[in-house]
Amino acid sequence: MLKSWKLKEIILMSVFAAVFGVVYLLFVHIGNIWAGFIGPIAYEWIFGIWFIVSILCAYIIRKPGAALLSETMAAAVEVMLGNAIGPRLILSGIVQGLGAEAVFAATGYKRYQAWVLMLAGAGSAVFSFGYGYLLSGYAALDPSFVALMFILRVLSGALIAGLGGKYLADGLLLSGSLRGYAISHNKKGDAHV
Amino acid sequence: MRITWYHRKERLIVQRILHDMNPAVKLAAVTGSVLVLALFFNPWTPLFFFIGTLMIQACFSRISWKRYVFFMLPFVITAAGYLWTTVVFAAETEGPVIWSWAGFDVTAEQWSRALSLAFRVLAFSSVSLLFAFTTDPVKFALSLMQQLKLSPKLAYSMLVGYQFLPLLREEFTHIRQAQRLRGAGTETGLLHRVRNIRRVLLPMLSGAVRKAERTAFAMEARGFTGEPRTVFFEPVPLTRIDAAMGMLFAALLLLSSICGVALA
């Protein structure tokens, strides 16, 4: 998977993962406090935040594995920083990354329009919900409540991760710092120089 | 290295075991426990596992318990959240009612489900804190590469990202100060707040891009190829203590599963 990657792309991914690892942890704490009052549904509408880095990296680097690896790395950084969710975060990072990766793979890593990014965010949401269903025991909850959680999470994934990730990456592109990455080649029209 | 341990007092050796344990083995033990615990819906298994983990932490490590409680507290709140949501939004509503409160009838089945999810949160957090409080981040990344065969390209770039964190924090302060100096970032309201996040995040990320490029060039200039290797500058060894601790976790898991099922 890494054969076609340049070292600067891998490092870019890991530095982004470090930045978002911190952001992710921040929101875990915010979510936790909320969850004490309104239960596990507190996480759902902000869940998209936890998928942003995979959308961002896939959109910028445009290589197979960008979504999966960046999300996994962000989770690893969260573990390295130390927190009470612990090493299983890496597992949920892999699951979330796979969700986005599946969508990008389905397009053959060729399409990066807004709707693809939104679908990728939704893909992460679907995968992570399946994982959460098993691990947090949502089976013990009322199905209609679970359905509401699911819909909120998918919407959050599509809007916050999909559109939010695109919004950030487009801003970065305008700043000119992404010269030398696939995103700027494709914008100019000459594919993969 | 192990010889020097025996020169110290017995107590000290024992209290360093979790800190000296191989991070990859610890990772496997902790993740494995979490996955197995997810299979149980009785309240006793996670409760026993939680108590056992606290005992392991107390016996085999030296940590600041004040910090431990501080980190644990948010998850106690979360556990409370799980407790009442599971009671109110339970899937099963059949069976004998054991108590009623504010118009909600709580059955025995519901109550035990709710308790089991709440204890599960506590069990997960305690075992995760065990990992977090006793694992050195750099040793963790090196162990991922040496024991779990993570590609050196990924392992070393992960370390790069991690080492950049203090720098990024400094940069965050600088950006905020510079923007405030120019009178930006003082607007209120939800939409402005969201735009403010972007205003800070964008310069940080573009700085990160530049740093990443410079680092990659520097690594390549020093001959880093990212090829898999067998010899390491800083080996993270596997010892008999790792095997013993792995078995201890397995035993705790087995014991709490059996007792939990028997009691339920």
**Min Cα–Cα distance to chain B from A55, Å:** 15
Domains in chain B: boundaries: 2-142+239-263, 150-221
pLDDT digits (tens, 9 = 90+) for B159-202: 999 889 888 889 989 998 898 888 876 667 767 777 777 888 88
Does the pLDDT value for residue A72 go beyond 90? yes
CB neighbours of A70 closer than 8 A, spacing ≥ 6?
A: A13, A16, A17, A53, A54, A56, A57, A58, A97
Closest residue, chain A, to B162 (C-alpha): A18
Does the pLDDT value for residue B10 go beyond 70? no
- A150 three-class SS: helix
**Is B161 close to A85, i.e. CB distance below 8 A?**
no
Q: Outline where A4-113 has alpha helix (H).
A: 7-38, 41-44, 52-61, 66-81, 88-106
| Residue A136 forms contact with B (CB below 8 Å) | yes
Rounded (5°) CA angle A35-A38-A40: 50
| ipTM of the predicted assembly exceeds 0.85 | no
Burial A116-145 (b: 16+ CB within 10 A, else e): bbbbbbbbbbbbbbebbeebbbbebbbeeb
Higher pLDDT, B102 or B139: B139
- Tell me the angle at which helices A52-61 and A88-106 cross, rounded to the nearest 10 degrees: 40
Which token pair is A184? 């700027």
Higher pLDDT, A142 or A149: A149
Does the pLDDT value for residue A192 go beyond 60? no
What percent of chain A is predicted at pLDDT more than 90? 52
pLDDT digits (tens, 9 = 90+) for A128-144: 999 988 887 777 778 88
CB neighbours of A170 closer than 8 A, spacing ≥ 6?
A: none
| Residue A3 forms contact with B (CB below 8 Å) | no
